[in-house]
Structures are given as C-alpha cells and as structure tokens.
Amino acid sequence: MVAWSRWAAVQWPNWFRVLPSSTCMAICAIPWLAGLIQSIIEHQFDWFVPLYFNPERYGMDSDWERYAANGTDTYYMVCNVVLMVLPFPLYAAALMTLFRRQAEKTIKARQRYARGTPPALLSVQRQMSIETRLLVPCIINTILFVVGQIFISQCSKHGKWMNWAVMVVFTANSLVNPLLYLFFSSVIRKGVVTACRDRLTASAIYDYELRSSSGDHRCSLIRMNRDATINSQLNRIQASC
C-alpha cells in the first residue's frame, strides 16, 4: 500500500493531493481488512499450523514438523515472496514517471532559455530532487523489510536467542521509517528541531520562574502554563482546519 501510494502521488499528483480524509481512511483500511480476512480464512483449514508465542524461546514457536509437512511453510513462503517482490515494480514505475517528467520539463525549459542555466531549469531540478527524496526512504524501508523477512523465515527455528533477534528485527521495521523520513526530509527535520527547541526553551524559563517564586505565585505559574498549553493546542487545531 505504501508503494502504491507513492506511485499514485507521482502519477496523479493533483488527484492525490486533494483526497478527502474519508477516502484516505478507506484506502488505509483495505490492507488491514484484507489481512484480517486472510487470517480468518486460513485458520479454518486443517493443514494450517498456527504460530504462538513461547516465552521460553523468546519468540514464536510451533509444531515445526507439521508446519513443514502440511504445507504451512510453503504457504507463508509464497505470501512473503509476493509481498517482497510486489513493491519494487511500483517504485520503478514511479521513478520512471519522475525521470520522464523531468526530461520533458528540462527540454521545454532549455528551448525557452537557450543561454546558461536559467531559474526555470533549476526549479525543475530542485522539484525532481524533492520528489526523489520522498521515494528513497520508502525504497530503503522496503529493502529492510525484505532482509527482515528473509532473516525471520531462515532463523526462527534455531534457538531462543536467534528467536529473540528475529523479534528485534521484526519490531525494528517500525522504527526505521520515521528515522528515514527525519533524515531525508528537510521540512520534517526543521519542524522537529523547532519543536524541540521551543519546548526546551519554554521548559527552562518555566523551571527557573517556578523555583524562584513563592508558593502562591508558583500555583499561578502552573495555571498559566496549563492554560497556555491548552490555547496553543487549540490554535494548532484551528490552523490545521
């Protein structure tokens, strides 16, 4: 779904930019509902051997002989291969669309301005750089997902510490995505730095005034800080609406 959303944002930018929130929620709900239905259906068959958490092994466990003999291992392997391969054609299509669009805009800009490197050409190159940086974190995250799936499928039966490492790799996929966006997106990076700086500055001033004030003044400062926090949150909500 992430790969499809990146491809759709590149292929139809105007349509994707004005999607209503209800449509976005429905799009996000589709893979969750598909996974839920798949899980319910697969548990109805006798050949399916479920996994369960075993604290003694620090990870997932099962009847591994039945798991391999009844076809559950093959079933999971096919599903994992499909999920690992499917995003890459979508990312490739998105990159091809970006390169083709940049080539067309560059040709038009050079035809319009035959001398030097005009501002229009610089704008085209800058826009291409921004869109590419938005795709790179998704591609890296998909590669890490593929590596994690291979690691999980090959190492989940070999001892409790290997099982523990598998669980760490599995949960690390959720941590990598925000870190990648923080690294590649200057807008997100500046927003995080500004928010942290404002919070630290306000906290330092508030702590100094709180320590150097009397009891009644201290209670007044606490109420003022609470009211200021509430008003700030309300202003942000109104601005976003």
Residues 196-238 have pLDDT tens digits of 877 777 655 545 544 555 555 555 555 555 555 545 554 554 5
CA distance 134 to 138: 7
How far apart CA 81 and CA 146 sit, in angstroms, is: 9
d(CA 104, CA 130): 17
- CA 190, distance to chain mean position in Å, is 18
pLDDT in tens, 102-136: 777 777 766 666 655 555 555 555 555 656 666 77
Residue 52, φ and ψ in degrees, nearest 5: -145, 155
